[in-house]
């Protein structure tokens, strides 16, 4: 019985689980906001470099003619759309950042952490341009310098946002929630829970062991375990069979004799 007394209580195990989960959540939040800050800093540094080194009229090859470096100031969205409503994109960027920060409270997946970190960093990178670059708050023009075969021109923040969008789409497709769970799959509670055969077998063994001890001590009602063979036959016969199974013939004889004398 001492072995069971030494085992931690369910309350202790639950407290340890919650503490471990809390530590994991803090690490994931640190990764998310650290990645977001890194993306925003790299984006702003690359834009400052582009302003000081690139031309708005001449493209500089980066990967052949497929990707070139050419400076431009974008007042609208991709492809220069909605250039007359810059303030709307400022509001959208603020809303995206707010949603990411709100969702981050429930983060439990490394993959979601990376995706949300990229999304937040990209949104902040372009938001800084909207707020502080010419022609002024809140209609600043975004600095773009990566020309994709004259199809559109973007920046580092755009790459982070597109990468995050692809990652989020994949996670949604395979069914992984922000907290790392998969809807429709049981975590061990409620309907559809996966039973642990080894755990059930262990509990059954302990129960059988306790029941045997109570039977030897006479704690069971003899009337409840009697059969037509008379008093004591329900315990003597199993004892004889058990002794024969272990190869102890003398003990088997004693068990049988004990039943007859009883």
Which of the four pLDDT bands, split at 50, 70 and 90, describes residue 225? Answer: very low
For the segment 109-142, what is each residue's pLDDT rounded down to a tens digit?
Answer: 999 999 999 999 999 999 999 999 998 888 899 9
Q: For residue range 35-74, what is the model confidence (pLDDT) as tens digits?
A: 999 999 999 999 999 999 999 999 999 999 999 999 999 9
Cα separation, 126 vs 36, whole angstroms: 12
Residue 239 has pLDDT above 60, yes or no: no
Annotated catalytic residues are: 144, 158
CB 166 within 8 A of CB 98: no
pTM: 0.65
Q: What gap in Å lies between CA 142 and CA 93, rounded to an integer?
A: 12
Report yes or no: 69 and 59 within 8 Å, Cβ to Cβ: yes
Q: What is the pLDDT of residue 183?
A: 79
Q: What is the DSSP string of 206-222?
A: HHHHHHHHHHHTT-S-G
Q: How many whole angstroms separate alpha carbon 43 and alpha carbon 76? A: 18
pLDDT at 29 over 80: yes
The confidence score (pLDDT) of residue 21 equals 79
Residue 177 CB contacts under 8 Å (≥ 6 apart), including other chains: 109, 183
Q: In this predicted structure, what is the pLDDT of residue 160?
A: 97
């Amino acid at each position: 019985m001492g072995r069971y007394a030494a085992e931690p209580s369910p309350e202790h195990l639950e407290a340890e689980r919650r503490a471990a989960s809390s530590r994991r959540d803090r690490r994931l939040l640190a990764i998310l906001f650290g990645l977001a800050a890194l993306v925003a800093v790299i984006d702003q540094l690359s834009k400052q470099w582009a302003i000081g080194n690139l031309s708005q009229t001449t493209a500089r090859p980066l990967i052949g003619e497929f990707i070139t470096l050419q400076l431009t100031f974008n007042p609208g969205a991709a492809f220069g759309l909605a250039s007359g409503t810059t303030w709307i994109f400022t509001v959208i960027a603020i809303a995206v950042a707010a949603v990411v920060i709100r969702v981050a409270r429930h983060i439990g997946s490394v993959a979601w952490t990376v995706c949300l970190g990229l999304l937040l960093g990209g949104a902040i990178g372009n938001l800084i341009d909207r707020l502080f670059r010419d022609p002024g708050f809140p209609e600043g023009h975004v600095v773009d310098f990566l020309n994709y075969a004259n199809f559109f021109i973007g920046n580092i923040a755009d790459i982070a946002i597109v990468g995050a969008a692809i990652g989020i789409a994949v996670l949604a497709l395979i069914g992984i929630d922000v907290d790392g769970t998969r809807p429709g799959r049981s975590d061990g509670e409620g309907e559809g829970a996966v039973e642990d055969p080894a755990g059930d077998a262990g509990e059954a063994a302990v129960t059988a062991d306790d029941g045997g001890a109570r039977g030897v001590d006479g704690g069971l009602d003899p009337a409840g375990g009697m059969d037509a063979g008379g008093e004591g036959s329900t315990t003597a016969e199993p004892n004889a069979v058990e002794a024969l199974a272990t190869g102890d013939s003398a003990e088997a004889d004693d068990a049988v004799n004990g039943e007859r004398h009883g």
